[in-house]
């Protein structure tokens, strides 16, 4: 009874002491079938539709686990609730960053100008890791401003 977009994640859970369960599959399905940035509540609501036994606690606990496993990423856009996305490698969106409107909180994904970004990242990451003895695993790049609609007001 697999629906469109579902995939097997069993392999990711094998060998690390974790089990693939219905709630976990459901959460990953929901994240795999959307282009949005979903909050824990959003995910709960979406999972609830086809798995009404789900509890909010389970959603939170699994989101934390999935972040630790690097299957998903957590973003704090700065207005209360954290948002989640599949990691680049598992997402159809691929590598991208965010453009955040300070007025309406809308978030636009972009994946343009990645060449310029790669150049910048390469030199900066190398330099920073040497100076600060930091093992850099990830980066967060966001542009903030006012979106088209909010500008008109």
Partner DNA sequence: ATATCTGCAAAGACTTTGCATGAGA
Partner DNA sequence: TCTCATGCAAAGTCTTTGCAGATAT
* Binding-site ranges for a second copy (CB under 8 A): 74, 76-78, 82, 99, 101-102, 108, 110, 112-113, 116-117, 119-120, 123-125, 127-129, 131-148, 151
Q: How far is CA 101 from the centre of its chain?
A: 18
Between 20 and 101, whose beta carbon lies closer to a second copy?
Answer: 101
> For residues 125 and 136, is the Cβ–Cβ distance under 8 A?
yes
Q: What's the rounded Cα separation, in Å, for the pair 94 and 89? A: 6
Contact present, 59 and 40 (Cβ < 8 Å): yes
The yes or no reply on residue 60 touching DNA (CB under 7 A) is yes
Cβ closer to DNA: 68 or 129? 68
- Residues near DNA (CB under 7 A) are 10, 13, 17-24, 39-41, 51, 53-58, 60-62, 64, 80-82
């Amino acid at each position: 009874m697999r629906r469109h977009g579902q995939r097997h994640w069993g392999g990711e859970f094998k060998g690390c002491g974790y089990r693939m369960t219905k709630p976990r599959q459901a959460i990953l399905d929901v994240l795999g079938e959307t282009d949005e940035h979903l909050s824990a509540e959003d995910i709960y609501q979406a999972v609830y539709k086809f798995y009404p036994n789900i509890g909010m606690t389970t959603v939170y606990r699994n989101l934390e686990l999935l972040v630790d496993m690097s299957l998903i990423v957590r973003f704090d856009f700065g207005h209360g609730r954290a948002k989640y996305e599949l990691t680049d490698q598992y997402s159809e969106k691929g590598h991208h960053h965010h453009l955040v409107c300070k007025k309406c909180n809308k978030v636009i994904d972009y994946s343009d100008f990645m060449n310029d970004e790669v150049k910048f990242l390469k030199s900066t990451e190398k330099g920073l890791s040497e100076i600060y003895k930091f093992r850099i695993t990830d980066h967060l790049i966001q542009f903030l401003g006012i979106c088209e609609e909010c500008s008109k007001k």
